[in-house]
Amino acid sequence: MYSNCIIGLSAAFLSAGFLYDAGVGNWLIYGVFNFFSILFVYNFHRIYKATFSKVKTPLLDWVAGNRGFVIYLMVVSLLTCLALFTVLWQGKSTLLVLFGVMVLLSLAYVIPIFGKSLRELPHLKSPLIAFVWALVLFVFPSLNEAIPFPIIAGPVSIYFLFFFALTIPFDLRDVHIDSSKQKTPPMVLGEKGSRILSLGLILVYFMYFAVFNENLRQSYLFIGTIFFLSFLLFTSKPGKSETYFACLDLSMLLIGLAYFL
């Protein structure tokens, strides 16, 4: 539960900082919207897995034992998201469709469609997470605020790589739980290869913003966070503690703060 709040808060700061830097006036409301969006989706995933998954973990056992509280939090998050959406939505029907697609992808990540959930399809788990996060945190708010897509295409593409890099340590953690048919990066590249991939993606991310974003280029917080994140990725391996993964998530919060400083 704490991990869901941490990742939701981190996503909120990252989205708000990005939109603040882009000159979006409603950056704070979007940040709150994304916090509750992440909280709803992650709690829904946990409830679904605790109910239907054959794999049992201490986390899922805790969720099953506190089902009422988790469902209550999930409902509150959903209602808050819907209320904020009505405030933010600018009336563009295409973006309503995009919002629907984001919701569908988030649910189909764990709910089987034609016998399999999206996360079970080979090679799709990590890219799908990165794609949906980029859509939710950056693409939907930017297009809703009438920012032309060509302007955000570059940074959004780089953030896709950023999120992809962050999923790899989680894939390493779950390598003994995930089916071998999923073909996650650790399954395809091995432990060392997946670490190299994640570090390479973060390097590309850093180089892009060091060149094209003067605010981040001059931010000691941003530079320090990248070094900290690189260390975390370099030391990633199965069996890492929950504190380690909380630090991974908090790196997003620190980058979000760097946009404001």
Phi, psi of 35 (to 5 degrees): -60, -50
Task: List pLDDT tens digits, range 41-81.
Answer: 999 999 988 888 777 777 788 888 889 999 999 999 999 99
Task: Return the pLDDT at 123.
Answer: 85
CB 141 within 8 A of CB 19: yes
- Residue ranges in the chain modelled with pLDDT below 50: none
Task: In whole angstroms, give the CA distance from residue 43 to residue 71.
Answer: 8
Task: List pLDDT tens digits, range 195-227.
Answer: 999 999 999 999 999 999 988 999 999 999 999
- Backbone region of residue 16 per phi and psi (left: phi > 0; alpha: psi in -120 to 50; beta: other values): alpha
pTM value? 0.93
* Segments in 213-236 forming alpha helices (H): 214-217, 220-234
Which residue segment(s) compose the domain that 200 sits in? Answer: 2-260
Task: Return the pLDDT at 96.
Answer: 87
Q: What percent of the chain has pLDDT over 90?
A: 66
Q: What is the count of structural domains for the chain? A: 1
Task: Return the pLDDT at 163.
Answer: 97
Task: Return the pLDDT at 164.
Answer: 96
CA atoms within 13 A on the CB side of 34: 31
* Segments in the chain forming alpha helices (H): 2-21, 27-52, 58-65, 67-88, 93-108, 125-134, 140-144, 149-173, 185-212, 214-217, 220-234, 242-260
Task: Return the pLDDT at 107.
Answer: 87
Q: Is 194 helix (H, G, I), strand (E, B) or coil?
A: helix
